Homo-oligomer: A and B are copies of this chain.
């Protein structure tokens, strides 16, 4: 598995870049996952009072199994590498969005953002091939 993070200020096109990147990685046959950092906890992912919302207040991990997807909620530590190891076994690439200050994971910086361990600095979605080249040059994590 290879893990990289895409970092940059708001509205710099990170998600569009990531969509393009995932499309190209899939064409090459890679299994690709994505972890989005929500440091302020703004994400609301269940309806208050639903069965899963009620049970998740007391259970460590809960799944809603729908026909086209599962949704899982879990209390889990706030380290994306640990999340990848637990929940993305068998994946080839995991792309993080955010995590500017995380050490030990190579960053693709979009624009002039400050971040730890910047491996590549780019200006927009035209640079997807450069990211793929970076990914393929990285050693796999065990």
Query: Residues of A with Cβ closer than 8 Å to B?
Result: 15, 18-19, 22-23, 26, 31-47, 50-52, 54-56, 58-76, 78, 80, 83, 87-88, 91, 97
Q: Determine the chain B residues whose CB is within 8 A of the CB of A26 once the complex forms.
A: 58
- Measured in the bound complex, the distance between the Cα atoms of B97 and A11 in whole Å is 41
Smallest CB gap from A32: residue in B? B59
Contact indicator A54/B15 (Cβ below 8 Å):
yes
Contact indicator A45/B65 (Cβ below 8 Å):
no
Q: How near does chain B come to A112, taking the closest CB pair, in angstroms?
A: 21
Contact indicator A34/B62 (Cβ below 8 Å):
yes
A45-B45, A73-B71, A83-B70 are contacts. A36–B63 as well, Cβ < 8 Å? yes
Which listed residue (B34, B51, B75, B83) contacts A15, Cβ 8 A?
B51
24 contacts between A and B (CB under 8 A): A19-B54, A32-B59, A33-B59, A33-B60, A33-B61, A34-B61, A35-B64, A36-B55, A36-B63, A38-B65, A38-B66, A41-B66, A41-B68, A45-B46, A51-B97, A60-B91, A65-B83, A69-B74, A70-B73, A70-B74, A70-B76, A70-B83, A71-B72, A72-B74
- Measured in the bound complex, the distance between the Cα atoms of B46 and A90 in whole Å is 25
- Measured in the bound complex, the distance between the Cα atoms of B53 and A71 in whole Å is 12
